[in-house]
Amino acid sequence: MNDLNVKDYKRFEDIKRLRDDGTYYWSARELAPVLEYSKWENFHKVVKRAMISCENAGHSVFNEFPEVRKLVEGSVAPRTVTDYELSRYACYLIVQNGDPRKEVIALGQTYFAIQTYRQELADHFNQLDEDKRRLVVLGDIRQWNQLLAETAHDAGVITNEEFAIFQNAGYIGLYGGLSVDDIHQRKELEIGQKILDYMGSTELIANLFRISQTEEKLRKDKIHGADKATATHYTVGKEVRKVIEEIGGTMPEDLPTPDKSISEIEKEQLELLKQKAKNGQLMLDE
């Protein structure tokens, strides 16, 4: 499976839809062009093959591929077309049955495999070991970091230099004055190794809170200007640190650094997912 960069990740995130009950789905009509199928008829064949895979794996096609009717504009008059509100698992089965010659299909396999597995893990979070908890939380951080980057840009954090300063300010606030470079050095990491990749679940959760609360405050308070946005990120980081101190928690810089990176754990889990895919199953059974 291919590695995902932010741009690849975003193409699938941008078409993810939220229902009123809090569950997510992907429209088959919107997924088709993302997977580079220009004709619905050709993509519909892939969807039907995925439904067969779903049935053979013992899952409900009705639950994973609920059919809906949509009104769309036609050349003469509006017309009704068939669509499907696809679950993560349905999307995964679709990319598994897609044209393997398309690079985007390989990217889709990686994205939906990780998303499906993360959701299964999240549903059993309290039962997970430390490595799997790290996987779940870092997955959330990646999504929130993307949202924070967009919100910060809207607030006026435009250039790469401004964004680097903005990001660093959040860490300085949370880590009691330590910068990204200081944290990197404290964890004794090598050049190219990322600090988020070498955080335990407790440290990751503290950073997730910092990121999500900064994004909300920038948006809610309509912060404008790179300097003000940066100051906001620092303040939120400092407030999160204060909460940790008040409840008697361990400061993030004093938490142990795991020996194994999350990238290594992800590679191991992707290999397991490949084996599960061969068996037509992706449910958590460990």
Tell me: the pLDDT tens digits for 234-247? 999 999 999 999 98
Band of residue 283 on the pLDDT scale cut at 50, 70, 90: very low
Encode pLDDT of 190-222 as tens digits: 999 999 999 999 999 999 999 999 998 998 999
Q: What is the mean pLDDT of residues 9-34?
A: 89
pLDDT tens column, 184-197: 999 999 999 999 99
The structural domains of the chain, with segments of one domain joined by +, span: 6-108, 127-255
For residue range 248-279, what is the model confidence (pLDDT) as tens digits? 999 999 999 999 999 898 888 777 766 765 66
Question: Which of 59-63, 71-75, 94-98, 245-249 shows the lowest mean pLDDT across its residues?
Answer: 71-75
- Where does the pLDDT of residue 75 fall: very low under 50, low under 70, confident under 90, or very high at 90 and above? low
pLDDT at 285 over 60: no
Q: How far apart are CA 284 and CA 124, in angstroms?
A: 9
pLDDT of residue 98: 84
Secondary structure string (H, E, C) spanning the chain: CCCCCHHHHHHHHCCEEECCCCCEEEEHHHHHHHCCCCCHHHHHHHHHHHHHHHHHCCCCHHHHCCEEEEEECCCCCCEEEEEEEECHHHHHHHHHCCCCCCHHHHHHHHHHHHHHHHHHHHHCHHHCCHHHHHHHHHHHHHHHHHHHHHHHHHHCCCCHHHHHHHHHHHHHHHCCCCCHHHHHHHCCCCCCCCHHHHCCHHHHHHHHHHHHHHHHHHHHCCCCCHHHHHHHHHHHHHHHHHHHHHCCCCCHHHCCCCCCCHHHHHHHHHHHHHHHHHCCCCCCCC
